[in-house]
Amino acid sequence: MTRVAAGFVGCKVSQADGEEALAGLAAAGLQPVTTREAADVVVVHTCCVTAEAERKSRRLVRRAASAGKRVVVAGCAAALRPEQFEGAGVMVAARPDWVALGAELRREDPCGRVAGREGVVVASGITGGVVDDATHDATHDAIPRTTPVSPVPSSADPGATVADAASRATPGARTRLVLKVQDGCAGVCTYCVVRLVRGEPRGLPLEEVLAAARAGLARGCGEVVLSGIDLGAWRDGGARLTDLVAAVAALEGLKRVRLSSVEPSHVDGALLELLSHPRVARHLHVPVQSADDGVLRAMQRPYTFARYLSAVEGLRRVPGGAMLSTDVIVGYPTEDEAAFARTLEALQSGLFGRAHVFAYSARPGTAAADLPSLPAAVVKERMGRALAAAEAAALTARRATLGREAEVLVEERRDGLWRGYSSEYVRYSLRGDARRGELILAVADEVNGDGVRGSVKE
């Protein structure tokens, strides 16, 4: 049986896409394995949010191909510039029908060629190729369903659903299920290429989300992470994101539901109130990008920094405390030293418990790509200050957890310690008695790298 593994670069949507790919390939009769070393085929979901993300994507693809694996390259960078991945042993398939593609992989002939449908150029083994077929457009325009998949080879289960197949797609139960419920974005941010490759917003119907979540819980997942390119834009008729979160939180067997990322315009009183629910993680990731209104206008972000602060202010009132994390872009072409100083001040203010800091890079096809870039030395120097401020803020947030009780979902045992995450998304390494998948009370007593170390409370 052909063995397949997955890797990804980028956000939780990319991770969810990788799990979805494994589910479809498992439904087609391939055998998912836990490591790339054990696989015959490696699926790599790529990222194009920055030039560095594309570079990391190419490196991951090259490593898998140089190890003699057949590589299927998918995701945002594959959709943006597929030619950058072409090469021996590599197939580029930005958004394929994974079940159909799995059937093709199983029908590979001895010469290394993969049998393809008319109009599809796919190859592995000796040559490279790009999947470019109009039949794949439906995958771009709709969220993949958990309804029955298309017919598969006799060695697979012809009555399988994607949710069913996911149990075969992840060897060994996981405690966290990353579930993509939304895709696409209608924003007009001048720097963002992801909206160009992901298309218009669309959402997975509520009942299909719940079916997929139930399937994950049945496999032993305790936490469901709802992800999307513009998660707050999720819709199903009159249902909105808060309705979705409440419905998932009510599922039997769920330990916790977490949101991956939401835009400031979608943080409202109803969402903040949900953070008080015992099964909803007390953590929001809300990208700010800049604390300077002039830069925000140039980026065409639909808020001022004051409006951003107003949106997240309610986090301070969540019982038990809530964590706010964010994204910051340094070195946007219109950012002068005064504008950067405002962003640096925001990073130093204690507002954010975690900040992902990125250096701006021009992305093809975006409005900002035509703007003159700042000198590389200026961007590098600002990045150093911003990263230092972000790390100091994160350290302060980790220290604030010391001596306090926290609910931790135990995920694994490593180096003699139990590891897992708290509701506020702080990583704990714990001494004491626990079980994988258990939600336990813990107390941290020291900072430990990018997390904290402590003990299970008896």
For 289-354, the DSSP string reads: B-S-HHHHHHHT-SS-HHHHHHHHGGGGGSTT--EEEEEEEE--TT--HHHHHHHHHHHHTT--SE
What's the sign of the alpha-carbon dihedral 267, 230, 289, 177? positive
Higher pLDDT, 241 or 166: 241
Domain spans of the chain, in order of start: 3-160, 405-456
Identify the band that residue 114 occupies on the pLDDT scale cut at 50, 70 and 90: very low
C-alpha–C-alpha distance, residues 453 and 448, integer Å:
6
- Which residues on neighbouring strands pair with residue 113, listed in sequence order? 123
Task: List the structure tokens of 210.
Answer: 């719940």
Q: Is the pLDDT of residue 413 over 60?
A: yes
pLDDT tens by residue, 318-339:
998 899 999 999 999 999 999 9
pTM: 0.84
Identify the band that residue 239 occupies on the pLDDT scale cut at 50, 70 and 90: very high
Query: What average pLDDT score do residues 4-32 get?
Result: 91
pLDDT tens by residue, 292-317:
999 999 999 999 999 999 999 999 89
Q: Is the pLDDT of residue 243 over 70?
A: yes
CATH 2.40.50.140 correct for 405-456: yes
Taking residue 300's Cβ as centre, other Cβ atoms within 10 Å add up to: 14
Q: Is the pLDDT of residue 452 over 50?
A: yes
pLDDT tens by residue, 219-235:
899 999 999 999 999 99
Place of tokens 């190859």: 123
Pick the CATH number of 3-160 from 3.40.50.12160, 3.40.50.1360, 3.30.450.20, 3.40.50.1220: 3.40.50.12160
C-alpha–C-alpha distance, residues 100 and 117, integer Å:
10
Strands 3-8 and 31-32: parallel
Extended strands (E) in 200-322: 202-203, 223-228, 256-259, 283-285
Q: Is the pLDDT of residue 123 over 80?
A: no
